[in-house]
Amino acid sequence: MPDKRKASMSTPTFKRPRLNEDEDDKTAHEQPRSHPIYGQKNAFPGLDDAGDELFYGPADDGMEYLRMVRSEANAMPSLFIAQSSKDATSFTHGFFEDEAYIAPAKPDEKTDAFLQSLYPEAQNSYYDLLRYRFLLLRSTLKCTPPAAVIAGLDDSHPISLPRKNAAARKEWRRLILAVDPQMAQLACMDLESVLGVLQILARGLSDNVRSGDAPGIRRLGAWAWSLLGKCREIGELSTEEVGEIRDIGKRAAKILEKVREAEDVEVEAEEEADEDSNVEENGQDEPEEPLTEIEPMPEVSDTPDMPMPDDANQPDELAAAKERLQARLQDNSQHAMSDDTSDGTDLVTQTRAMLDMIITVVGEFFGQRDLLEAREIWTGPEAL
C-alpha cells in the first residue's frame, strides 16, 4: 500500500522529446548563411542546398526557380565591360585597377602651357622675368638686415601696424602714397602687419587709380610688390590669410576691367569725332559765307603826301613779327598737348602694369589661378 500511494502521489514530469541527429543537422543547415564576398545574408536558406552546382531548369516550384535565377547570376562576371568603338580615341590611355576602370584625365585648360599659348612671346618673357624677380625679392626679404640699417629707419618707415589702432591705420594710409618702401623696413615687418597694410592698400586701390596721380600710382605699385614679396608661401598661410591676399587680387581684376571699359568708350568717342570731321572736310555741312557790302573808295586829295623813310619797310617788319609770334604760340601749344598726352599715356601704362602685376603675383604664387584669366593680352606694338 505505501508503494502504491507513493506512486499515485508522484507529480508528472514534462520533458521535450529528443530529436535525432538527422533532424539537428537539417535544422542547422536551414539557417541562413552570409555571402562570402558581399557579407549579405540570404533570404531563402533552402537555396544553399545545391552548393556550387548550377541549375538551369526546368523549375517545378518557386524554390527551384529562385535556384535557377541564382545559378544564372553566379555564372555572370562581377564586372561588365562595354565594348568601345575602334575609332574612339578618348579612352585609349585608360587602365584597370582593382576591377575598376580608370579613365584618362582630361587636359586642364588652366595649366601653364595653355596659358602661355594665349599670350604673345614678348608677354610670356615678361611674365618669366616677373616671376624670377619676385622669387629674388622673396628670398632677399627673408634675410635679417644689419642692426645699423634698422636703427637708421625714421618715423616715415614704421615696421608694425596695430590692427585696432585707427590712428596707425590712418598714418599708414598716408605713408603708402607719400613714401617709398625700404627693404630693411619690410624685412622687419611681421606677417600680421604686412596683411594689415595690404588690406589698407586694397581698400584704397580704386580711389587712388581714379585720382590720376601718376607718382602715387607708381608708389602704390611698389608697396603692393614689396608687401606681397614679404608674405609667406601659400603652404605656410592659413585660410583667412590667403583670403586677404586674394581680396587684393580680385579688386585689381575688377579695376582693370573698368579701365578697359573706359578705354573702349574713349575709342568709340574718338571714332565718332573723326567721322564728323571727315564729313565737314567733304563740304557737306559748310556754312555759306555772308555777302559783304562794297565800301566806297575814299576820295584822293590833290595834296601829295610827304614820303616817309620807314613806310616801305614797315609792312615787312610787321609781317615777320606776326609770323614769329604765331610760330611761337603754335610751338607752345604743341608742347603743351604733347606733355598732356605723354602724361596721360604714362598714367594709363603705369595703372595697367600695376594691376597686371598684382593679378599675376596673387594668381601664380598664392594659388588663385582663376584670377589669371583677367589679365590683358598684349595686342599693341609692345607685343612684337
pLDDT of residue 294: 46
According to the model, what pLDDT value does residue 17 have? 59
The verdict on residue 181 lying in a domain is yes
> Which residue(s) pair with 96 in the sheet?
101
Is residue 65 exposed (0-12), middle (13-18) or buried (19+ Cβ within 10 Å)? middle
Residue with cell string 502504491: 4
Q: Is residue 30 part of a domain?
A: no
The confidence score (pLDDT) of residue 113 equals 65
Residue 255: its pLDDT value, please? 92
Residue 9 lies in a domain: no
In a domain, 166, yes or no: yes
Q: Which domain holds residue 185?
A: 124-266+347-378
Answer whether residue 57 is part of any domain.
Answer: no
Separation CA 245–CA 202 (nearest Å) = 9
Phi, psi of 374 (to 5 degrees): -80, -5
Domain membership of residue 284 (yes or no) is: no
Determine contact, residues 47/65, Cβ cutoff 8 Å: no
Are 363 and 249 contacting, i.e. CB atoms less than 8 angstroms apart?
Answer: yes
Q: Does residue 73 form part of some domain?
A: no
Q: Tell me, what's the pLDDT at 196? A: 92
For the domain that residue 186 is a member of, what is the CATH number? 1.20.58.1070
Q: Are 210 and 335 in contact (CB under 8 A)?
A: no
The set of cell numbers assigned to 292 is: 559783304
**31, part of any domain:** no
CA distances from 244 to 176, 337, 357 (A): 18, 42, 17
Residue pair 172/204 in contact (Cβ under 8 Å)? The answer is no
C-alpha cell of residue 147: 642692426
Domain count, the chain: 1
Distances (CA, A) of 29 to 32, 37, 43, 48: 8, 20, 14, 9
**For each of the chain's 384 residues, which pLDDT tens digit applies?**
555 555 555 555 566 655 555 555 555 556 667 777 777 777 776 666 655 666 666 777 777 787 777 777 777 777 767 666 655 555 456 777 777 877 776 655 556 666 667 788 888 899 999 999 999 999 999 998 899 998 888 888 988 888 788 899 999 999 998 899 999 999 999 999 999 999 999 988 888 888 888 888 889 999 999 999 999 998 899 999 999 999 999 999 999 998 888 877 766 666 666 666 665 666 555 555 554 454 554 454 444 444 444 555 566 777 777 677 677 766 665 554 444 445 556 788 888 889 999 999 999 999 898 899 888 888 776 666
Residue 176 buriedness (CB in 10 A; 0-12 / 13-18 / 19+): buried
